[in-house]
């Protein structure tokens, strides 16, 4: 099964604060372990929401809102796509992840739909 592992944004990430060299090194090692385990399909960090936009749909209408966006705790600062055997395996790997932020942070794991889910 594929899961998206979502790193939630923090006030620091939304302020454009870059990871320390030590965190970058630790994340590099963690990502390498994911690759060696054959799990990592994709992953990236996102720039702060100031550089983003949202498109809202209402019938035929479209409304564009440019960042930054409020409610930092609802924003995403990065993600991985992992191929895992179970949610428990994804949780075990997420627990091994270095804290992705300088302070308290949160990772969310969500299963992706597969084509057979629609059959």
So what's the pLDDT on residue 102?
A: 86
| 82 contacts 2 by C-beta, under 8 angstroms | yes
Q: Tens digits of per-residue pLDDT, 17-55?
A: 999 999 999 999 999 999 999 999 999 999 999 999 999
For residue 43, give Cα distances in angstroms to 31, 32, 52, 56, 78. 9, 12, 18, 26, 7
Residue 41 domain-assigned?
yes
Residue 63 domain-assigned?
yes
Its domain, for residue 6, covers 2-114
pTM listed for this prediction: 0.91
Looking up residue 36, the CATH number of its domain turns out to be: 3.30.70.1060
Confidence label for 108 from pLDDT (cuts 50, 70 and 90) = very high
Number of independent structural domains in the chain = 1
Residue 94 domain-assigned?
yes
For residue 79, give Cα distances in angstroms to 46, 62, 117. 8, 27, 23
Neighbour-count burial for 92-111, b at 16+ CB within 10 Å, e otherwise: ebbeebeebbeeebebebee
DSSP for 72-94, please give it: GGG-EEEEEEEE-S-HHHHHHHH
Q: What is d(CA 91, CA 71) in angstroms, rounded to the nearest whole number?
A: 25
DSSP for 35-80, please give it: HHTT-EEEEEE---GGG-EEEEEETTEEEEEESP-S-GGG-EEEEE
Residue 119 domain-assigned?
no
Q: Tens digits of per-residue pLDDT, 56-90?
A: 999 999 999 999 999 998 999 999 999 999 999 99
């Amino acid at each position: 099964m594929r899961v998206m592992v979502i790193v939630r944004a923090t006030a620091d990430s939304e302020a454009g604060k870059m990871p320390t060299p030590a965190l970058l090194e630790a994340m590099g090692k963690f990502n390498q372990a994911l690759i060696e385990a054959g799990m990592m399909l994709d992953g990236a960090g996102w720039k702060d929401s100031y550089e983003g936009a949202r498109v809202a749909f209402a019938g035929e209408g479209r409304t564009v809102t440019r960042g930054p966006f409020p409610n930092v705790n609802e924003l995403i600062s990065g993600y991985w796509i992992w191929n895992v055997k179970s949610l428990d395996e994804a949780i075990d790997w997420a627990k091994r992840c270095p804290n992705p932020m300088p302070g308290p942070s949160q990772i969310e794991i969500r299963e992706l739909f597969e084509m057979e889910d629609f059959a």
